[in-house]
Amino acid sequence: MYLITVFGNLLIILAVSSDSHLHTPMYFFLSNLSFVDICFTSTTIPKMLWNIQTQNKVITYEGCITQVYFFTLFVGLDDFLLMVMAYDRFVAICHPLHYKVIMSAQLCGLLVLVSWVINVLHSFLQTLMVLSLSFSREVIIPHYFCELKQLVQLACSDTFLNDMVMYFATVLLGGAPLAGILYSYSRIVSTICEISSAQGKYKAFSTCASHLSVVSLFYCMCLGVYLSSAATQSSHSSATALVMYTVVTPMLNPFIYSLRNKDIKTALK
Ligand SMILES: *[C@@H]1O[C@H](CO)[C@@H](O)[C@H](O)[C@H]1NC(C)=O
């Protein structure tokens, strides 16, 4: 599954960069998402496979902190890029005549850059907060990778500040993209409803169907991870939910985009 994820997402990046028909904001963002997905799976899966292969489940403190940093970074980036893509669809459907002017190369670059800067700073902050905690010499992390929340719970020192920062970061950095996506889609739906011809409706909707599928998958998996960790105390089932989230979502994204999308199919051919 890891190989399929890397290969599928690489194909998307390759298709978008080599076919000039795909040099539009939507596909630039898509290839950014593919790049982030490759990095995202690469922070957890190779280490997990190595652990399984060698029957050795040890990770060093430095390795653990590094994993926390990159995992937080790429999850946040995934979320932000999905919001940027929703904004792109919103402009394309609600302001089609101004699309080329609004979604200029500068704005696209700026949106991607801002997403990176916010998430680099955020995961840097979270990692610094973890570094300030003290741990006993050996701790057992009931997971297959170092996850921020689990790690903080295992600290010996007071974690009040960490919990506060984590809480506000989740509300702000998780809530803002979700709000943006919901707003964009509410405007898209009301615009599509105003189109009189059924064919026009279908055409407008089909351009955002792939994105909508990816967004639904991302948030359903997030919700699944959240619910399963809240509902059961067993770390086994919440780990299962997390595997689904970290392996299956990035693997399915290229399929969703390439199977439903004529442009990508032609480019791949
Ligand atoms: C990401 O998006 C920017 C802005 O549209 C684009 O210039 C860049 O090539 C994209 N990166 C990748 C890896 O596709």
Q: What is the pLDDT of residues 23-60, one digit of tens each?
A: 999 999 999 999 999 999 999 999 999 998 999 889 99
Distance CA 240, CA 44 (A): 14
Query: Which of 59-68, 101-110, 179-188, 203-212 is predicted with the least confidence, judged by mean pLDDT?
Result: 203-212
Tokens of 104: 């200029």
Q: CA nearest 46: which of 127, 151, 144? A: 144
Give me the pLDDT at residue 201, please.
Answer: 83
Tokens of 243: 């595997």
In this structure, the residue with its CA closest to atom 12 of ligand 1 is 32
DSSP H or E segment with residue 53: helix 25-54
In this structure, the residue with its CA closest to atom 8 of ligand 1 is 28
Tell me the CA–centroid distance for residue 221 and ligand 1, in Å.
26
Rounded to the nearest angstrom, the gap between the alpha carbon of residue 256 and the centroid of all alpha carbons in its chain is 15
Instruction: Based on DSSP, count helices (H) and strands (E) in the chain, helices before strands.
Output: 12, 0
Confidence check: pLDDT of 234 > 70 = no
For the chain, the residue count is 269
Q: Are 84 and 111 spatial neighbours (Cβ–Cβ below 8 Å)?
A: yes
Confidence check: pLDDT of 236 > 70 = no
Domain boundaries, the chain: 2-268
Tokens of 70: 């990159």
pTM for the predicted model, two decimal places: 0.91
Give me the pLDDT at residue 143, please.
Answer: 80
Averaged confidence pLDDT in the chain: 88
Q: Best substitution site from 11, 18, 28 to test ligand 1's pocket, by max atoms within 8 Å of Cβ?
A: 28
Tokens of 72: 């937080």
What atom of ligand 1 comes closest to residue 31's alpha carbon? Answer: 14
Distance CA 77, CA 123 (A): 11
Tokens of 176: 């803002």
In this structure, the residue with its CA closest to atom 3 of ligand 1 is 109
Report the pocket of ligand 1 as residue ranges, CB < 6 Å. Answer: 13, 28, 31-32, 35, 108-109, 112
What atom of ligand 1 comes closest to residue 17's alpha carbon? Answer: 14
Give me the pLDDT at residue 159, please.
Answer: 86
Homologous superfamily of 2-268: Rhodopsin 7-helix transmembrane proteins (1.20.1070.10)
Q: What is the pLDDT of residues 137-182, one digit of tens each?
A: 888 887 888 888 888 888 888 889 999 999 999 889 988 999 999 9
